[in-house]
Amino acid sequence: MSLYVTELRRLAKRRLTRVMLVLLVLGLTGIVTAFTFSSHKLSPAVIAQAQAESDANFRDAVKSWERSIVECDAAKARGEQTEDRYGPNCGRDWQPTADMFDPKWNLPYQFDFRGEFGIFIAVFAGAVALFAFLIGASFVGAEWSSGGMMNLLLWRPKRLTVLGTKLAAVLTILTGVTVVLGALWTLAFWLIGTYRGTTAKVTSGVWQSAGISGLRALGLILAVGAVAFALASLGRHTAMALGVAVGVGVVSEIGIRVATTIAGVRFGDRWVLSTYALAWFQKQWKLVDYRSCDFSQGECTPKEMLVTWQDSALVFGIGTAVVVVAAFWMMRRRDVT
Amino acid sequence: MSAVLEIEGLRKTYKSRRRGVRNALDGFDMRVEAGQVHGFLGPNGSGKTTTLRTLLGLIQPDGGRMAILGQEVPAALPTVAGQVGAIVESPQFFPHFSARDTLSLLAGAGDVPAVRVDEVLELVGLRDRADERVKTYSLGMKQRLAVASALLKNPKLLILDEPANGLDPGGIREMRTLMRTLAESGMTVVLSSHILGEIQLICDEVTIISLGRRVAAGPVEQVLAQHSHGGVRVRLDAAEDLAAAAELLGRAGVAVTRHPDHLMLAGVDKPATVSRLLAEQHLYVSELAPVAVDLESVFLEITATAPVPGQHRQVDQSAKIGEPGHAGGTTGGWGA
């Protein structure tokens, strides 16, 4: 227990942890502030103004249409060719109608908590996952490269216990940061919805769905933190985790996409990690094989492949487990030099 | 006297597909008695740090036996670790933590009372700078912090690798006094250093390692005596008599080396016999001085690492006991 508490203290004392936490909070605050100012509550007066603008636009359009017909008829009387410019029958068949001028188009943006908060959970998860990656990697990477790990092993010559305790400390801090900032994030957007947008139709089911999305976000953040920690421990340097992240990003997001396209692989994106990240947050992600259709032969429904969040759980779970187990195995086997 | 540290036949081999096999430790033996200050010497790359790392569980040995405080390690390391304080090679600390933070975190990890942090800071002279970041420390101050971290547990066995590295002359003397005080209080100290004058002053016994094997061990005086060779320097009243004196002593069975203004004799048990022998032939001695060996010269001799003019000795070129040409040194290293 003393080692666990010590590692929590060590992580909390680290300058990188504090700086990154401040940057994370500033980044999230920036997003909240931007949406606070960009969202406008749709009061009856605002809706009436939008309706008035819509009506005015409709009237202008009708006048313009009528003027166009008069001009066309005059041109036709002068024996000019009019079809190219005004259309057949001088465009009489294209009379504007009121339903073409939806008042919604004139409304300012209003944040809808029910419809949009799910996206913001994903945004929050992305930002905190980046924080998790840096904190997880540098906590153990810097310990290895600075000699701190060796010092600690001289005090606690139980390698797996030491590494496991450090990982537990990282995951604890990440859980704490995610829960606290997640609660503040939810509160902030609820307040935006209440005072600058709408919180209509937010039922218990919506909250339940948001809660489950939040848990998925927490799972992804912890997985990212654990993978970064394990990679840095395997390479005994923070740069190892950063290098692998860049490498996987380039290979997975660019290399595999290009290679599968050239090779004509069906549903090539199923080999790309971001597909599973999208499925994880959206519950499912549809891949479409447009090459399965020959549209010149008429209507065709392309073949589809559905990637579910359960598939994502399997991919991310196995990937995380493999890297973490490898880190512990190497910790047990390799000399500390 | 009981042994606090025992190493028998310790072996560690590094294998590389490109560079072959290298025996970092090749059946190394070492024994340290309780309450001693024990010097652990060896040229660069001889296996000192590998030995200490292996002993402390950082490296897995390929063979041999090790025991600390009577308990077999590495199996019993978790049990005895609380009684062993160690610094291995140049210790590095987190640059943005203060000395107090660094020690406080170590104390927390090792269940050491927090009050001990202030005690060791006082002991190593860092009390007034304890709250400054380590990155502002000089090498000597970092070294003091390292020693403080090793002392934090109030250990029975203290292992220090180059503790005087970076210390100023005053710091070296303080460190020497500290080592002696700790030993007098019952702590056993194993000291690895290249400052051989210090080792000679501080240590009760020494172990010298070369190419992974022990090449000398025992009380400092005993090791020095074993390698003194009865050297004597002789000067005569008249320098032109040196040739005659050399011939005379040579006929008497003394090994003589001629120098422009003096003779160096080896294998002389009683210097007085030299004086008498020369005086009988009316060759009068103006100086007759036994040449005292120091640990440095003994070290250079038995590890065969003395510099040779015009040659550039490589790191792994040192003596390996039990091999032909021991005195002249052999070449070890990768592929050996």
Specify whether domain B3-225 bears CATH 3.40.50.300.
Answer: yes
Distance from C-alpha of B56 to C-alpha of B84, rounded to nearest angstrom:
9
Identify whether the C-beta of residue A148 lies closer than 8 Å to the C-beta of residue B93.
yes
Residue spans per domain, chain B: 3-225, 229-290
Q: How confident is the model at residue B310 (pLDDT cuts 50, 70, 90)?
A: low
For chain B, give the secondary structure using H, E and C: CCEEEEEEEEEEEEEECCCEEEEEEEEEEEEEECCCEEEEECCCCCCHHHHHHHHCCCCCCCEEEEEECCEEECCCHHHHHHHEEEECCCCCCCCCCEHHHHHHHHHHHCCCCCHHHHHHHHHCCCHHHCCCEHHHCCHHHHHHHHHHHHHCCCCCEEEEECCCCCCCHHHHHHHHHHHHHHHHCCCEEEEECCCHHHHHHHCCEEEEEECCEEEEEEEHHHHHHHCCCCCEEEEECCHHHHHHHHHHHHHCCCEEEECCCCEEEECCCCHHHHHHHHHHCCCCEEEEEECCCCHHHHHHHHCCCCCCCCCCCCCCEECCCCCCCCCCCEECCCCC
Please determine, for residue B300, whether its predicted confidence score (pLDDT) is greater than 90.
no
Distance from C-alpha of A40 to C-alpha of B210, rounded to nearest angstrom:
80
Please determine, for residue B214, whether its predicted confidence score (pLDDT) is greater than 70.
yes
Q: Give B109's contacts in chain A (Cβ within 8 Å).
A: 2-3, 6-7, 152, 155-156
Q: How many Cα atoms are found within 13 Å in the side-chain-facing hemisphere of A195?
A: 8
For residue B288, give both structure tokens: 């007759």
The minimum CA-CA distance between A337 and chain B, rounded to whole Å, is: 7
The ipTM of this complex is 0.75
Among A335, A164, A263, A278, which Cα is nearest to B62's?
A335
Q: Give B153's contacts in chain A (Cβ within 8 Å).
A: 155
Q: Give B59's contacts in chain A (Cβ within 8 Å).
A: 335-337
Among A278, A268, A336, which Cα is nearest to A311's?
A278
Contacts of A156 (CB under 8 A, 6+ apart): A3, A162, B78, B81, B109, B110
Determine, for residues A155 and B92 on separate chains, whether the beta-carbon distance falls below 8 Å: no
Taking the CB of residue B85, how many other CB atoms lie within 10 A of it? 27
Give ∠ CA B241-B245-B247 in degrees, rounded to 5.
120
The minimum CA-CA distance between A309 and chain B, rounded to whole Å, is: 40
The average pLDDT across B260-286 equals 85
Distance from C-alpha of B304 to C-alpha of B326, rounded to nearest angstrom:
8
Out of A156, A336, A337, the one facing B109 most closely (by C-beta) is A156
Fold exhibited by the domain B229-290? Alpha-Beta Plaits (3.30.70)
The minimum CA-CA distance between A135 and chain B, rounded to whole Å, is: 15
Q: Which of A293-307, B230-244, B321-335 has the lowest mean pLDDT?
A: B321-335
For B76, which residue in chain A has the nearest alpha carbon?
A157
- pTM of the complete model: 0.81
Out of B59, B88, B94, the one facing A148 most closely (by C-beta) is B94
Determine, for residues B106 and A155 on separate chains, whether the beta-carbon distance falls below 8 Å: yes
Out of B58, B86, B108, the one facing A2 most closely (by C-beta) is B108
The average pLDDT across B163-191 equals 83
Long-range contacts of the stretch A238-241 (C-beta < 8 A, 24+)? A238/A137, A238/A138, A238/A141, A238/A142, A238/A145, A239/A141, A240/A137, A240/A141, A241/A133, A241/A136, A241/A137, A241/A141
Q: How confident is the model at residue B334 (pLDDT cuts 50, 70, 90)?
A: very low
Taking the CB of residue B286, how many other CB atoms lie within 10 A of it? 11
Please determine, for residue B326, whether its predicted confidence score (pLDDT) is greater than 60.
no
Distance from C-alpha of B21 to C-alpha of B13, rounded to nearest angstrom:
7
pLDDT more than 70, % of chain B: 88
Q: Which of A196-205, B108-117, B306-315, B323-332 has the lowest mean pLDDT?
A: B323-332
Q: Give A140's contacts in chain B (Cβ within 8 Å).
A: none
Q: Give B149's contacts in chain A (Cβ within 8 Å).
A: 151
For B90, which residue in chain A has the nearest alpha carbon?
A147
Run means of pLDDT, 10 residues per run, chain A, 337 residues: 88 93 97 94 90 93 92 88 84 88 90 93 95 96 88 90 96 97 97 93 92 94 96 93 91 89 87 91 88 77 90 95 96 88
Determine, for residues A15 and B96 on separate chains, whether the beta-carbon distance falls below 8 Å: yes
Contacts of A32 (CB under 8 A, 6+ apart): A185, A188, A189, A192
Q: How confident is the model at residue B293 (pLDDT cuts 50, 70, 90)?
A: confident
Using omega within 30 degrees of 0 as the cis cutoff, is the peptide bond preceding B74 cis? yes
Identify whether the C-beta of residue B135 lies closer than 8 Å to the C-beta of residue B108.
no
State how far Cα A91 lies from the chain centre: 47
Q: Give A148's contacts in chain B (Cβ within 8 Å).
A: 92-94
The minimum CA-CA distance between A1 and chain B, rounded to whole Å, is: 9
For B96, which residue in chain A has the nearest alpha carbon?
A15
Chain B interface, Cβ < 8 Å to A: 53, 56-60, 74, 77-78, 81, 84, 86, 88, 91-97, 101, 105-106, 108-111, 149, 153
Q: Give A142's contacts in chain B (Cβ within 8 Å).
A: 94
Q: pLDDT digits over B44-77, tens only?
A: 888 888 999 999 999 999 999 999 999 999 999 9
Determine, for residues A336 and B94 on separate chains, whether the beta-carbon distance falls below 8 Å: no
Determine, for residues B108 and A6 on separate chains, whether the beta-carbon distance falls below 8 Å: yes
Determine, for residues A156 and B105 on separate chains, whether the beta-carbon distance falls below 8 Å: no
Mutate to test the interface with B, among A151, A330, A333, A337 (most CBs of B within 10 A): A151
Identify whether the C-beta of residue B200 lies closer than 8 Å to the C-beta of residue B294.
yes
How many interface pairs between A and B have CB atoms less than 8 angstroms apart? Answer: 74
Give ∠ CA A264-A266-A272 in degrees, rounded to 5.
100
Determine, for residues A154 and B88 on separate chains, whether the beta-carbon distance falls below 8 Å: yes
Distance from C-alpha of A138 to C-alpha of A320, rounded to nearest angstrom:
18
Instruction: Give the pLDDT score at B316.
Output: 61
Instruction: Give the pLDDT score at B329.
Output: 38
Q: How confident is the model at residue B186 (pLDDT cuts 50, 70, 90)?
A: confident
Identify whether the C-beta of residue B192 lies closer than 8 Å to the C-beta of residue B162.
yes
Q: Give A238's contacts in chain B (Cβ within 8 Å).
A: none
Please determine, for residue B225, whether its predicted confidence score (pLDDT) is greater than 90.
no
Determine, for residues B57 and A153 on separate chains, whether the beta-carbon distance falls below 8 Å: yes
Dump the DSSP string for A93-130.
Answer: GG---GGGS-GGGGSPP--BHHHHHHHHHHHHHHHHHH
